[in-house]
Structure 1
Amino acid sequence: MSEGLRVTVEQSGPIPLSAEFSCAPGEVLALVGPSGSGKSTILRAIAGLYRPASGRIQCNGDLWFDASAGLAVPPHRRSVGLVFQSYALFPHMTALDNVKAALAHRPPKEHSERARALLRLVHLDGLEDRKPAALSGGQQQRVAVARALARDPAVLLLDEPFSAVDRRTRRSLHRELRELRTAVSMPILLVTHDLDEAADLADALCVLDRGETLQTGPTAEVLSAPASARVREALDIPLEDSA
């Protein structure tokens, strides 16, 4: 598969990793597993913020990391949109300016129009001039997604993006993510501890434990037929629920 994202990362420590998976354009792949299973570390490796001891990361035919060849493309040269759990917005900037800050790769005359278009895409029309402190948690999350998309990424990485909002807002954001995936055809990786969220949003699951890929496959298949007792334990599925 030349299109989409392909990831293989290996190391014995300090954070053990033995993970391998792929994600096609337009697909949502959820990385699931207990705390400390390496989910966020893998996202950071894809973004170029962490360098594993061994492995290979390729997106749409572009090689971003190849340990055997000594290749590690720096983060600013990887076409990645990353949304953190904390959103990491600039508090002194408006929503519009937060998005414009990610548009340095485009001509300055395009910045305002493009930023406004992205804020419309995430349903923030009319809130362009508000600073993060004047936005709800869900609205801040939308700004963070718009800013990630401003980089014109080849892949979108979401690291527990809905964990800081209430259940009602989370349902609304889930609906908007489903809408968004139809507007942007790129691989989307979602890190989540919430199996209901993964079942609602993801086409496929990659189950991780202690940095190791235990099972990958269509979401319904993995949840209904865990491949082993270790997968059931990683997913916290009682034995009788997987029969």
Structure 2
Amino acid sequence: MILDVDIRHRQGAFTLQARFQSEGKLTALFGPSGSGKTTLVNAVSGLIRPDHGRIVAQGRVLLDTSQGAFVPKHRRRIGYVFQEGRLFPHLNVRQNLLFGRWFTPRRERKAGFDRVVALLGIGHLLDRRPSTLSGGEKQRVAMGRALLSDPHLLLMDEPLASLDEARKAEIYPYIERLRDEGGVPIVLVSHSVAEIARLATSIVVLSDGQVVASGPASEILRHTGLFRQPGPVEAGALIEGRVVQHEEAFELTVVQTRAGTLTVPRLDYPVGTPLRVRLRARDIILSVKPPEGLSALNVLRGQVSCTGEAHGPSIDVILDCEGEALVARVTRKSVEELDLVPGRTVHAIIKSIAFDPEALGGSGFVNMRDMND
């Protein structure tokens, strides 16, 4: 178990009562502002001392109030990346990175400087000062500094919140590489469904200081009612695939999944790359007959498993497409008129332009080399 948390903490009028376990490479803490996400990561990092409970990270007890155990923050071996890079302005990038080394005894240093620099693509920045870096570059340097402290766990508190869409697109691949190749489990705080759909391998959903759901990302993202911020329509299914072809003439990429073949806007990934694809419930149309003469390029055949949460006149229909679970949001009237009962064969229709480009990224489910020398 990477992270085992069971705590209760009162802070002013707010009470956090959180209990969950995670084995994911990247665990996302999701919820609206004020739900307790930052309080929770501060408890894990040791910045606050919870009133009651227990925290275990990588098999190491960091807090156990029943035993009077509390490991102070400077001895927890936890890296922390904040919304702003918080780099030292008087030091260049190389010196900022090496600062992380001070927190680890020489004999325990495992993360190779050159490997971390290559992993984050910051070799060309080493002699520059923070004031000359873009927001995305500052965050990559901050991640590198945290990794070079050889942490047992890496905490990231909304590291993309202050970046514009272009800088987010720049940094996503590097967080994916940290997740897949870094060898350090990550806890990421976020309030963006697209962000966690792209990056998370497991998700903890918080609301008003309580954990309302936790589990693998592919399972949690199906439950659209959990994601009412910024809106329930932003949730959907998460499926795995692999790039099999690029159609350069049409600026499209073909992805093979267990559910079938999907055509998405052109991706900058080589053929053979494992991917995760988010299919939003609002972007799926259902047909009980094989569709013909459509402009939509993606049609997946499946069976109705069950119906889920209702949202006013709409209801979520859960589909089984060759073992992959999809969610389609349709009207209750359509469910009745099309007789969408469990076992009914249907065809899920998705436009290529409906795919959320922010949530198309590396799968996070492939084993890759770690970053150590």
In the TM superposition, what is the alpha-carbon distance from 1:139 to its structure 2 partner? 0.5
Alpha-carbon distance, 1:225 to partner:
2.0
SS at match of 2:124: coil
1:237 matched to 2:232? yes
Tell me, yes or no, if the aligned pair for 1:5 and 1:155 is still in contact at 8 Å: no
SS of aligned partner of 1:68 = coil
TM-score (norm 1): 0.88
> What letter corresponds to residue 88 of structure 1 in structure 2?
R
Segment of structure 1 superposing worse, 161-170 or 4-13: 4-13
Instruction: Answer 1 or 2: which has greater strand percent.
Output: 2
Q: Which residue of 2 aligns with 1:49?
A: 47
What is the TM-score normalised by the length of structure 2?
0.59
Query: Displacement, 1:12?
Result: 4.4
Q: Which residue of structure 2 lines up, in the alignment, with residue 154 of structure 1?
A: 152
Is the 2:25–2:180 Cα contact (8 Å) retained in structure 1? no
Amino acid at match of 1:18: Q
Match of 1:199 among 197, 200, 205: 197
Cα shift at 1:241: 6.9
Residue 80 of structure 1: how far off its partner (Å): 0.5
Q: Residues 23-172 of structure 1 correspond to what in structure 2 (within 5 A)? A: 23-24=22-23, 27-104=25-102, 105-107=104-106, 114-172=112-170
Q: Is the 8 A contact 1:205 1:217 kept in 2?
A: yes
Larger-gyration structure (1/2) = 2
User: C-alpha distance in 2, partners of 1:66/1:149?
Assistant: 26
2:274 equivalent in structure 1? none
Report the counterpart of residue 289 of structure 2 in structure 1: none
Between the aligned residues of both structures, percent identity stands at: 36
Aligned partner of 2:17: which letter?
Answer: S
Unaligned runs of 5+ in 1: none
Q: Which has the higher contact order (CA 8 A, sep 6+)?
A: 1
Among residues 1, 4, 7, which one is paired with 1:6 in the alignment?
4
**Is residue 100–residue 147 contact of structure 1 (8 Å, CA) maintained in 2?**
yes
CA distance in structure 2 between the aligned counterparts of 1:233 and 1:169, rounded to whole angstroms: 26
- Take 2:172 and 2:315, find their aligned partners in 1: how far apart are those partners? 25
1:19 deviates by 0.9
Question: 1:209 maps to which residue?
Answer: 207
Residues 8 and 21 of structure 1 are in contact (CA less than 8 Å); yes or no, is this contact kept in structure 2?
Answer: yes
CA-atom RMSD, angstroms? 2.2
Report the counterpart of residue 187 of structure 2 in structure 1: 189
Q: Give the secondary structure class of the aligned counterpart of 1:16.
A: strand
Does residue 22 of structure 1 match 2:33?
no
